[in-house]
Amino acid sequence: MGAEAGPLTGIRVVDLSMLLPGPLCSQHLADMGADVIKIENPRAADMTRYSDMRFGGVEKSAVEDGAGQSEPSAREDGTMFLLLNRNKKSVTLNIMRPEGRAILLKLLADADVLLEGFRPGKMEEMGIGYSQLKEKFPKLVYCAISGYGATGPLRDFAGHDGNYISRAGVMDLTGAEAPVVPGIQIADIAGGTLIALSGILAALVARGRTGRGQFVDVSMMDGAFSMIPLQAADFALTGKSPERGTLPLSGGLPNYHVYRTKDQRYVMLGSLEERFFRAFLRQAGREELADLLKSGQLAELKAALTQLFASRDLSEWMPLCENTETCLSPVQSVAQAFEDPQLKARGMVRRKVRGKREIVEIGSPFHLSGTPCDLDRLPPPAHGEHTLEVLSSVGLDALSIEELRKKRII
C-alpha cells in the first residue's frame, strides 16, 4: 500500500451498532481506511434509514434489542443514515438466531474490531459477549457503547443523551434561570462516539505492542462527566457546585459572552486575553471600557457592552468579526455554517449525490498529512447490499446463502 492509504487500511471492523453514537464512530474508522461491515437485522434495519419519516419517535431500546421491527421497504434511505454510514458495507444477519451467530463468528475470524451498542449483558446472553469471544479471538478489540457502562448500579437502565448529561452535572451548567436541553447530542457524540473512537485506536496501538485485544467499555455518562474539568476544579476549590452563568467561561465574564445586535442577531465576544479585548475595543471605538475590566467592575462592563452591541446591526459588526485580533464572531445558524468559507476551505462541507438527490454532508475532522482520509471509497450502502459478497468471502457457497435467506437468517 502506498503513502496515500488511510491510516487504518487493513483493519476490519464488524459493526453491530445502530442509530447515532456507534455508526458515527465506525464512519470515522471507515474514513480512515478501515473495512467496516455494518450488520443489520434483515427485518430490523437501522432506524436512521427512516429518518426522513420523523425517526425521532422510535423507541431506542427496542431497536437496539432487535425487537419487533417491520420489514424494510425499498424506499430511499433517510438523510440521517446517509450522513452516518459512508464507506461501509451492509450485511443483513439475524444474530438473534443461532445460525446468524455462527456466521458472525466466521466474520470475526479475521476482524480486528467488534463495535456494538446493545444494553450491557445482551451480547453475553447470546453467547457472543467479550467474555465468550476473547478466548476464541484473543486479538479482537471489542468496544461496547452504552449509556452507563458495563458496571455500576445503573448499567441496566435505559436512557438517552439528556439523561446522561443530567446525571453527569452537564445539564445543570446550561441555560440561564433553568437548565435547558442542549442543541446537540453531547453525551452521544462527545461522550460516546469520540470516546469509543479514542478507546478503539488506543487498544489497537496496545495490541501492536502486546499482541492481545481487549474490552473497551464506553459509558456515555462517563464521557459527559469527563468534559467538566474546569467546573470540577471550581468545585474542588470551593466545595460548592458552580452556578449556571457565573463561571468565567459560561457567562461570568463580560468579555466572554453572547450579545444581541440591533437587528436581533447575535455575536460571540471571546476576547479572554486583555490584548484581544483591547483590540476589540479599539476597533469598536470604546477603548475606555478596558478600565472597567481591569478594576473588576464586571456588571458595569456587561451593561456597557450590551448597550454597545445593541446599537449596531450585525452587518456593521462584521468588519470586526473579520479582524484577526478581536475574537468576535457571528452566531451562525446551521444553514449559515454550511456556507462558512472556513469550513468549506477545510473540506468540512460536502455536496454529494446520494441516490436520486443531492445532499450536504459533513466531512472528516481528521486531517492527516501522510495518510489522509478517503471519504469516497464507498457510498452509504443499501440495506444488505453486500451480504452475498461478504458471506462468499468467508466460505459460504451460493446454495448455503440461499438457504439462509429462505430461513430469514439473512
Q: Are residues 309 and 373 in the same domain?
A: no
Mean pLDDT of 156-163: 98
Q: Is 77 an annotated catalytic residue?
A: no
| pLDDT-wise least confident of 64-68, 252-256, 285-289 | 64-68
Q: What is the pLDDT of residue 375?
A: 97
- Mean pLDDT, the chain, rounded, equals 93
Asked if 286 contacts 278 with a C-beta cutoff of 8 angstroms, the reply is no
- 71's grid cell: 420489514
3-state DSSP call for residue 178?
coil
Instruction: Return d(Cα 118, Cα 189) in angstroms, integer.
Output: 16
Q: Is the pLDDT of residue 56 over 60?
A: no
Q: Clarify whether residues 89 and 209 are in a common domain.
A: yes
User: For residue 3, is it within any domain?
Assistant: no
Q: Give the active site residue among 52, 65, 160, 340.
A: 160
Structural domain contains residue 185: yes
**Per-residue pLDDT at 354:** 87
In a domain, 27, yes or no: yes
Lowest mean pLDDT among 26-30, 241-245, 280-284, 313-317: 241-245
Helix (H, G, I), strand (E, B) or coil at 389: helix
pLDDT at 170 over 70: yes
Task: Tell me whether residue 284 is in a domain.
Answer: yes
Residue 13: pLDDT over 50: yes
- Cell output for 302: 456587561
Q: Are residues 173 and 38 in the same domain?
A: yes
Q: Are residues 210 and 352 in the same domain?
A: yes
Q: Provide the pLDDT for residue 54.
A: 54
160 classed as catalytic:
yes
pLDDT at residue 33, as a whole number: 98
Are residues 95 and 198 both part of a single domain? yes
For the CA atoms of the chain, what is the radius of gyration? Answer: 25
134 and 195 in a single domain? The answer is yes
Q: Among the options 188, 217, 222, 234, which is catalytic?
A: 188
In a domain, 243, yes or no: no
pTM of the model: 0.93
What is the structure's pLDDT at 57?
39
Q: How far is CA 398 from the centre of its chain?
A: 38
User: Do the domain assignments include residue 2?
Assistant: no
Q: Is the pLDDT of residue 370 over 60?
A: yes
Angle among Cα 236, 202, 386 to the nearest 5 degrees reads: 130
214 and 307 belong to one structural domain: no
**CATH code of 50's domain:** 3.40.50.10540
Domain count, the chain: 2
* Contact of 375 with 364, CB cutoff 8 Å: yes
Q: What percent of the chain has pLDDT above 90? A: 90
Running DSSP on this structure, what letter comes out for residue 44?
B
Residues 27 and 156 in one domain: yes
96 found inside a domain: yes
Q: What is the CATH number of the domain that holds 322?
A: 3.30.1540.10
The residues pairing with 14 across neighbouring beta strands, listed in sequence order, are: 37, 114
Looking at the fold, whether 108 and 217 belong to one and the same domain comes out as yes
pLDDT tens digits, one per residue of 97-145: 999 999 999 999 999 999 999 999 999 999 999 999 999 999 999 999 9
pLDDT value at residue 75: 64
Residue 177: the pLDDT is 87
Contacts of 100 by beta carbon, 8 Å cutoff, 6+ apart: 93, 94, 409, 410
**Residue 45: pLDDT band by 50, 70, 90 thresholds?**
very high
Do 316 and 373 have their domain in common?
no
Residue 4: is its pLDDT beyond 80?
Answer: no
Q: Are residues 302 and 158 in the same domain?
A: no
Shared-domain flag, residues 158 and 288: no
Domain holding 288, by residue range, is 248-260+266-330
Burial zone of 350 (CB within 10 Å; 0-12 exposed, 13-18 middle, 19+ buried): middle
pLDDT band at 50 (very low <50, low <70, confident <90, very high): very high
